[in-house]
C-alpha cells in the first residue's frame, strides 16, 4: 500500500481548470462495488504527460479500505508524471478510512473541485473535530 509519509506536493497548480481531469463516485464503495472507481481512475490517467486528477467523493455514502489501493496507485502515477491527485469530500467516514490507511496527510479533504484545483484544503476540518486517532473514547493507549 502507500502508508509512508510524503513530502508536500512540489508541482504547481495547472494554469487552467480545464487541465484537470475529474472522477466522480457515488453510493457505496466497498470490495464488491469499487471496480467502477478503479476503472475511472485508470481511464483518467490514460495518455502521456502530466496528470492533475480531482476525485470527487461527495456523493459517496459509504467507503471502506477498498478505496485506498486505487487512490494510492493514482497518486503514485500522477506524482511520477509531475502531477497530483486531490480528493473532494466532507465525510468523517472517508477521513477515518484514510487515517486508518495512513494516508490522510496525502489526501486532505477539499470542499469543492475548485478548491482542489487551487490547492486549498478544507480549513483543518474544524481542527478540533478532525480525527486524529482510530482509538475509541475510553480506550487506553498501549
**Contact indicator for 3, 70 with CB cutoff of 8 Å:** no
Cα–Cα dist 124/101, whole Å: 19
Beta strands 52-63 and 109-110 are unpaired
Q: What sign does the dihedral 46-101-120-110 (CA atoms) show?
A: positive
C-alpha cell at 44: 483518467
pLDDT in tens, 67-87: 999 999 999 999 999 999 999
pLDDT in tens, 94-131: 999 999 999 999 999 999 999 999 999 997 444 434 45
Q: In what order do the strands lie in the sheet with 52-63?
A: 20-29, 52-63, 84-88, 109-110
Amino acid at each position: 500500500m502507500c502508508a509512508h509519509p510524503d513530502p508536500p506536493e512540489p508541482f504547481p497548480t495547472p494554469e487552467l481548470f480545464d487541465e484537470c481531469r475529474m472522477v466522480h463516485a457515488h453510493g457505496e464503495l466497498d470490495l464488491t462495488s469499487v471496480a467502477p472507481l478503479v476503472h475511472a481512475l485508470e481511464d483518467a490517467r490514460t495518455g502521456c504527460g502530466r496528470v492533475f486528477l480531482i476525485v470527487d467523493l461527495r456523493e459517496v455514502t459509504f467507503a471502506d479500505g477498498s478505496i485506498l489501493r486505487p487512490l494510492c496507485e493514482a497518486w503514485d502515477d500522477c506524482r511520477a508524471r509531475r502531477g497530483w491527485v486531490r480528493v473532494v469530500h466532507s465525510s468523517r467516514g472517508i477521513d477515518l478510512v484514510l487515517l486508518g490507511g495512513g494516508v490522510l496527510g496525502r489526501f486532505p479533504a477539499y470542499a469543492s473541485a475548485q478548491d482542489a484545483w487551487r490547492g486549498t484544503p478544507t480549513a483543518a476540518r474544524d481542527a478540533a473535530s478532525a480525527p486524529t486517532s482510530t482509538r475509541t473514547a475510553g480506550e487506553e493507549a498501549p
